[in-house]
Every structure is written in structure tokens, then in C-alpha cells.
Amino acid sequence: MVNAPHVTRPARTAPPGTEEVTVFPRFRTAVLAALSALVTVLALTVGVPRAEAAAALPCDVYAAAGTPCVAAHSLVRALYASYSGALYQVRRASDGATSDIGLLSTGGYANAAAQDSFCSASTCIVTTIYDQSTRHNDLTVEGAGGAGAADVGAPADALPVTAGGHQVYGLEISPGMGYRDNSTSGVAVNGGAEGMYMVTSGTHVNGACCFDYGNAETNNKDTGNGHMDAINFGTECWFSPCYGQGPWVQADLENGLFQSDSGYSKNTANTGSGPLPFVTALLKNNGQNHFALKSGNAQSGTLTTSYSGGEPTVNGGGYTPLHQEGAIVLGTGGDNSNGSLGSFFEGVMTSGIPTDAADDAVQSNIVSVGYGGATGSTGSLTPGSEISLRATTACCTTDYVRHQDNAAVVSPITSSSSTLDKNDATWIVRRGLASSSCVSFESRNYPGDFLRHYNFKLTRQPMDGTAQFRADATFCPQTGKSGTGTSFASYNYPTRYLRHYNLNVYVAGDGGSNAWDSATSWTDDVSWAVSAPWAP
């Protein structure tokens, strides 16, 4: 049965195939999209030119392969070529009002400007992530569970990224945040077969339980082995050995994060996906005796299979067959274990196990999105522009602000510098997180991480949505104190300015008890040249 997208939120429409197309013309678009996707899959398998590939989005591809989406979630884009509904809902802190954020065009990308306008005088959280399939398996903020108190919604502006040439927002999960739907339609239960993927990030992770997306218990509690079937992405090594530093794509099948039937990794080449800023993580499971894990760079290349084999045989069994309950979880474990960090851009769940050819076609489509691509604007303090910040002090005119081991430092960057160094020295200007009249600086290669001061020293940290972080990460441009360039006053310490001192970066006053407040060369040290970005 083709599971085509709905086009309005309130209406509940029957899945296509239960109505006559001639009587219900609104389904004709979905049928044509599925046919287009079939052309794409055939092109992959028999070598036909892929002129139609751009029209087929992930759920079109999976439908044409006979494994339709039963859930399709994204804050970034449509996952069906014919989808024209809302992607997610935000709630404004100032008055509690809500707004649905839709698309710029049918089958296109999120209208982030609508979010910016609605939230401009306040802050917003994401309250609902809509399911684009006809199943309406919408995710809302998760309630209390066996291992965690009720969650809170993620800040709506914490993860600005470029996708499809547009500025959009991903979902940045910090501890205590999570989403869930315990009353779903079409999701596998009791050993049913299913597949799922998500686009996440290898730069925003930790080793706490559990950044999951997929099938979970319906009561927010751990009800035993095999009662989950979800992708996990993080650095928690449940069964030793794990190779490398991670983060790894693992299967959370309850009471264990599995890289194989024995739990531990049997693949020494699987050292993890860090620090890739965008990662495709994929799990498929026949629910009986076989599961497979795949991963890939969501910006380029193909998928790699890290495991394909039998269900787990450890922990006293219970995994053959699985006992899925059919809830959908995002950002936490099945019992609401909610200590994890994670990023989510898009993800789907299917009915049945997709073919490898369909997985490959979906990965190709994900790569075509251009996650994290250049913004197209450079060298200015206009929000969305990519820049590098160069010191103007006579000693240090080839030194630029960069991050290194999370700290902000200045070091020489030249045309012969490594790609990593150039990326570390490139920042995206964002509207000030605490004031739209000021600016914040997002890392180019660590999406969702911003420059903020802590104990007066500048660091690169993920935005957690708190008022303190917003204030610490906001800087107000002024004419350079030395008469050249630009100086940046701290939003919450307005007499302190971004300053380089002994190769580190601080918010510093002109004189004071701290070494970095020295009046010597202060005006030069707090004056910066806003230049074109080093990263392409």
C-alpha cells in the first residue's frame, strides 16, 4: 500500500489505495510521485539515466520499493515530493502562542523566515514534529517515564543550518529534552519488519543514554528485552569492545545498544562517525532473526554497512523474535532515559525492510540536499554571512579566531593551512541569540555550536536554549576601538569586548585585576577585521 503524504494538518485521509483515484483526485499527485520514484529505483538497478531522480524524495523512493513510510519527520524539508503541509510547530515564550512552520514550496524546504518572524521578540521551543505520512504519527514533547521526568521542548533556534541553499533549523537535543508518540498507526509491532534512518550530527553527542529514533514502548517504561527497535547514535559503548572514539550507529533493542548479535562490535573498521557534522544513520530489522546497521556521510559518498546478521543472543535472550510495541521516540531511550545530546534533521520509518538499492537512492538524495553548504553570503556582519575574524594588532595580523579543543584561540591561518584549520577559523554570523540587534557566531564545522564566554574566556559550545547561554553568546558590534575594524561588546558585560591575549580570546575590560584586562594595546587587541571566510 502506498503511504502518500497528507497536505493539510487537520484532515485525516485514508491511505491511498482505499479510494478510487478518479473520485479522489487529490491522491493523483501522490500516485505520480510514486511512479516517479519507481523510475528512480529502476534507474539505480538497470542503469537508466536518472533524469527524474530529483523529483523523488526519500518516502517516494521507499514507497516505490514496496516499503512505504509509516512515519516521516523533518524540521528541514519535505520527505515526499507532493507534501505541502506543516513540518513542525513552535510555541512562543512571551504569550504561549503557537505557529505551524511549513514549506517554501510543495516538496521543498522549511520556511525558516516564518519562524524567525514569529519568534523575533521572544524565544520559541519546538512543541510538535509533524508526520508527513497519512499515518499522522506526530511527535510531541515526551512525558515522564521510568527513568526520567517529563521532558521539555528543544529551543527552536538552536541549530541553524543551510540545506538546499536555504537557511533552516534542525532539532538540537540537550539532556531533559525528548519527543514521543505512544499511539501510532502502521508502526511494526510483535516482530514485524521495519526500516528507519535519521540524519544526525557527529559533532553534538555524548555517552549518556539515549539519543534514539525509532520504535519504543507505549508506556514510557522498560518492559523487557526486544521491546524496542530504534537507531541509537552516541559514544556510549554498552558492550565492550567498541573500536575508535565513536559516535557509533547502534541498535537500541532495549537493555542494550547493539553493534552485533553479541552486542559488542565485530567490525574493527567501525571506529565511529565523528566528527562528521552530518551523518546518515540507518537500521533495518526483520523482527525475527536479522538486523543491519549502516552509516554514511550525509554530505557526500555512499552508505557503509557495519553489521548485517542475526538478532542478539545475549542478556538472556528475548530478541528472537522482537516484541516491538510501536511507539515512536526521538531523543531519549524507551523509558525516557534523557541524558543524551543529539541533533536531528530528518528521519523516516518504513513498513517492511527496504532494499539496499532503495537505501542507496535515499542516501543519494540526502547528499543532494547539501547539508551545511556555504550560505552564499560572505565577509559581512549580516546574519547568514560566513566570515573569519582577523586580529589587527601589529604583532598578529595573520592571526584569526578559531576553535581548538573547544577553546577559542588565535593562530596564523594562511592559504597553505590545512582544511581543518580553515574550517575551524570560519564562523557563520547569526542574529544575536539574546538580541536581534547584535550577533552570535556559529561554528562552520560544528553545527549548533556557538562562541560564548564562560569565566570571561571564549569557548565553542552547543546552544542549550538557556537565557544564560543566549546572553553569553551574544556580541554587539561597534566601530573598532583603535579606529579601525570592528569591536564586539559582550551583551551581558557591555564594558567588556572580545580580545585576544596570549593567544586566547576573552571578554576583557580596559584595565582591571585580570591579566587579560591589561590596558596595554587594549584598543588594538579588541579591534577585529571582518574578512572573507577561510572555509570554502
Give the active site residues: 254, 335
Decide: residue 66, CB within 10 A, 0-12 exposed, 13-18 middle, 19+ buried: middle
Cell of 475: 556580541
Which candidate, 318, 319, 256, 333, places its Cα nearest to that of 286?
319
* Residue 255: how many other CB atoms lie within 10 Å: 21
- Please give the Cα distance from 421 to 400 (Å, whole number): 10
Question: Prior bond to 242 cis, omega within 30?
Answer: no
- Give the H or E element holding residue 168: strand 166-169
Structure-block grid coordinates of residue 221: 517504561
Residue among 93, 98, 95, 69 nearest 81 (CA)? 69
Under a CB-based contact definition with an 8 Å cutoff, are residues 256 and 263 in contact?
Answer: yes
CA distances from 68 to 88, 135, 232, 280, 302 (A): 21, 11, 22, 19, 22
Q: Which residues contact 154 (CB under 8 A, 6 or more apart)?
A: 125, 126, 171, 172, 173, 174, 177, 331, 465
**Placement of cell 591579566 in the chain:** 515
Residue 96 in grid coordinates: 504561549
Give the whole-angstrom CA distance, residue 191 versus residue 261.
Answer: 16
Query: Could you write out the three-class secondary structure of 88-113?
Result: EEEEECCCCCEEEECECCCCCEECHH
Contacts of 284 (CB under 8 A, 6+ apart): 193, 194, 195, 196, 291, 292, 353, 354, 359
Burial letters 266-301, b for 16+ CB under 10 A, else e = eeeebebbbbbbbbbbbbbbbbeebbbbbbbbbbee
Instruction: Please give the full DSSP string across 387-419, using - where no structure is assigned.
Output: EEEEE-SGGGTTEEEEEETTEEEEEE--TTS-H
Report how far residue 63's alpha carbon sits from residue 65's, in angstroms, rounded to the nearest whole number. Answer: 5
